[in-house]
Protein backbone atom coordinates (compact mmCIF):
# COMPACT_ATOMS: atom_id res chain seq x y z
CA UNK A 1 0.00 0.00 0.00
CA UNK A 2 2.80 2.41 0.83
CA UNK A 3 4.21 2.20 -2.69
CA UNK A 4 0.94 3.51 -4.11
CA UNK A 5 0.35 6.27 -1.55
CA UNK A 6 3.99 7.38 -1.68
CA UNK A 7 3.78 7.97 -5.44
CA UNK A 8 0.33 9.59 -5.38
CA UNK A 9 0.42 11.62 -2.15
CA UNK A 10 3.95 11.43 -0.76
CA UNK A 11 2.76 9.73 2.45
CA UNK A 12 3.95 6.56 4.14
CA UNK A 13 1.25 4.42 5.74
CA UNK A 14 3.63 1.86 7.20
CA UNK A 15 5.55 4.14 9.57
CA UNK A 16 5.78 3.27 13.26
CA UNK A 17 4.01 6.28 14.77
CA UNK A 18 4.33 5.38 18.46
CA UNK A 19 8.08 4.72 18.22
CA UNK A 20 8.62 7.92 16.24
CA UNK A 21 6.78 9.99 18.86
CA UNK A 22 8.87 8.41 21.63
CA UNK A 23 12.07 9.06 19.67
CA UNK A 24 10.99 12.70 19.36
CA UNK A 25 11.15 12.97 23.16
CA UNK A 26 7.62 12.25 24.33
CA UNK A 27 6.43 9.77 26.97
CA UNK A 28 3.31 7.97 25.75
CA UNK A 29 0.81 7.31 28.55
CA UNK A 30 -1.78 5.55 26.41
CA UNK A 31 -2.57 4.86 22.80
CA UNK A 32 -5.62 3.46 21.07
CA UNK A 33 -6.19 2.33 17.51
CA UNK A 34 -9.19 4.32 16.28
CA UNK A 35 -9.45 2.91 12.78
CA UNK A 36 -7.69 -0.41 12.13
CA UNK A 37 -3.98 0.23 12.66
CA UNK A 38 -3.96 3.44 10.60
CA UNK A 39 -5.50 6.16 12.83
CA UNK A 40 -4.24 6.30 16.42
CA UNK A 41 -5.12 8.40 19.46
CA UNK A 42 -2.03 9.08 21.59
CA UNK A 43 -1.93 10.63 25.06
CA UNK A 44 1.42 11.74 26.36
CA UNK A 45 3.68 14.56 27.42
CA UNK A 46 7.28 15.64 26.85
CA UNK A 47 9.72 13.31 28.58
CA UNK A 48 11.49 14.85 31.55
Q: For 12-24, how does the pLDDT look when each residue is reduced to its tens digit (9 = 90+)?
A: 667 788 999 999 9
Whether 35 is covered by a domain: the verdict is: yes
Name the domain count of the chain. 1
In a domain, 21, yes or no: yes
39 falls within a domain: yes
Establish if 5 belongs to a structural domain: no
Assess if residue 29 is contained within a domain.
yes
What does the mean pLDDT of the chain come to?
85
Residue 11, pLDDT above cutoff 80: no
Q: Which pLDDT band holds residue 42 (cuts at 50, 70, 90)?
A: very high
- Its domain, for residue 31, covers 16-48
Q: Which H or E run includes 41?
A: strand 39-46
Residue 47 near residue 26 (C-beta atoms within 8 A): yes
Long-range contacts of 23-29 (CB under 8 A, 24+ apart): none
7 found inside a domain: no
**pLDDT at 44 (0 to 100):** 95
> With bands split at pLDDT 50, 70 and 90, how would you rate the model's confidence at 46?
very high
Amino acid sequence: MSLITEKLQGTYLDRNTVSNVELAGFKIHSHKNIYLDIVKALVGKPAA
